[in-house]
A and B are shown apart, each in its own frame.
Chain A
Amino acid sequence: MTLLLSLLQSVLSLLGIVILAAFLTWVERRLLGFWQDRLGPNRVGWEGTLQVVADMIKIFFKEDWTPPFAEKKLFILAPVIVMATILLGFAIIPFTPGIGIAADLNIGVLFFLGMTSLSVYGVVLAGWASNSKFALLGGMRAAAQMISYEVFMGLALIGVVMLTGSFNMVDIVKAQAGLWFVVPQFFGFVLFLIAGIAEAHRLPFDLPEGENELGAGFHTEYSSMKFGMFFVGEYAGIVLISAMTVVLYFGGWKGPLLWPGLWFALKVSIFIAFFILLRAALPRPRYDQLMSYGWKLMLPLAIINLAITGAVMLAA
């Protein structure tokens, strides 16, 4: 019975996340529109809410074309990896005290890092299996970027883990009852957010796609729903990073009066909007700048943050 219940909960959560990720395409286009003094899609359904449905119908009827020069098995496997790893990452997010697929996992943070690392494979394999120069360049950039930003993402997280003394996500939220970790771990939060943007390869760190120099980067050769899976995977990645930020630094479901789930959703949507705002506002750095920010600025800062956190904890 409990098994059935938890299965149902997982299926519903995943379905909700996928639908939310698809819905975000409309949210992003609307918000970008407003921030550029336009309206964005507002015709299909009330204020354009059914735009997602129209886009889905369209993308399902597109020809699902596998290029003859592609490495067929890996070509098909790549979008599956991206989608699956990001959806698996949601397993350790505690949405509310009760709801969460495997929120009580005692290595929650490690599991999250592992899943985001694995999702690099999807992007790299997509670039390699496409057997085309733009896709390969995109995949190569994705590999270098995601691996180097993963390093200090992990180091930034360790500050929170040190303060809590646990990798368990529920414990981390409970440890923020008095004070959200964004206050003592402010630099950790900033570093994690930047790394998260790079991890979800969103603007200004969307060099793997880099549409003005690489076509569409690693998914240049993809069409129809295979492309759709990269697309939905990217938006699910935004939700995942936003949810992780909220859980680690902004007290997760904690908040007065309202239902905890509502607080969680509210905080996550603020971060999703921030991601979209960054896309509207910032240009993309050059590739060498991106790498040198990562290794020469962010990594030392993360280590300093870690050292100071440790010193303060020892002194206290």
Chain B
Amino acid sequence: MYIYSALRTAWLTFLHLFHGTETLQYPEQKPKLSPRYRGRIVLTRDPDGQERCVSCYLCAAVCPCDCIDLQKTSEPNKWVPEYFRINFSRCIFCGFCEEACPTSAIQLIPDFEMSEYSRQNLVYEKENLLIAGTGKVPDYNFYRVAGIGVFGKGMAANEAPPVDPRGLLP
């Protein structure tokens, strides 16, 4: 019985010679990555071309490996990061920062080819992280719907007009 099963295993293994291979010859053939693949982290801009990040520190707080470092500074009517630094030699690409971000500023994109010969080069500053576009969320603009940039009730996008309390009277 053992002999039969051993020979059958050997024969089935031998047939794998004609099965073709699963290997992707990486540098020549690129893998197909889904759009939600968690790769390199970028900072996106809103549709007006302004930085989306409002320096709320939620990404830095949620980061399990403390690789995000930023400093808040104020501009008229809004907060912006003075510097924003991600140490990719520590980052584990868990995507928690993306989930925590209230303004969809920080996003993970399907790019993993970021090897460096020097560890120092893995520390990305804000100018390295910022991209020109809106990333995965094309038309969300934080300062149109919330934030100190919006003055007065009913002026933000998609906001219902304020309820007139007198209209509620019987």
Contacts and interface: CB of A to CB of B under 8 A. Distances in A.
B36 interface: no
A280 B13 CA distance: 7
A281 B16 CA distance: 11
Contact of A281 (B10, B17, B20, B21): B10
Contacts of A35: 13-14, 16-17
B28 to A, nearest CB: 11
A182 B40 CA distance: 62
A37 B19 contact: yes
B115 interface: no
Interface residues of B, number: 14
Contacts of A280: 13
B14 A277 contact: yes
B23 A281 contact: no
A277 B10 contact: yes
Given A35-B13, A37-B16, A277-B13, A282 B6 contact: yes
Given A35-B14, A35-B16, A282 B9 contact: yes
Contacts of B16: 34-37
B22 interface: yes
Contacts of B14: 35, 277, 281
B13 A37 contact: no
A283 to B, nearest CB: 9
B13 A34 contact: no
A133 interface: no
A278 interface: yes
Interface string B1-44: 00000100110111011011111010000000000000000000
B119 to A, nearest CB: 25
A282 B5 CA distance: 10
Contacts of B23: 37-39
B162 to A, nearest CB: 65
Contacts of B25: 39
A192 to B, nearest CB: 15
Nearest to B16: A35
Interface in A26-84: 33-39
Contacts of B21: 33-34, 37-39
Nearest to A194: B3
Nearest to B10: A281
Contacts of B9: 281-282
A298 B22 CA distance: 40
Contacts of B12: 281
Given A34-B16, A34-B17, A35-B17, A278 B22 contact: no
B47 to A, nearest CB: 46
Contact of B22 (A38, A277, A281, A282): A38
Nearest to A33: B21
Nearest to A293: B2
A37 B6 contact: no
Contacts of A34: 16-17, 21
Nearest to B22: A37
Nearest to A285: B2
B84 to A, nearest CB: 39
A282 B13 CA distance: 9
A41 to B, nearest CB: 11
A38 B16 CA distance: 10
Contacts of A281: 6, 9-10, 12-14
Interface of B: 6, 9-10, 12-14, 16-17, 19-23, 25
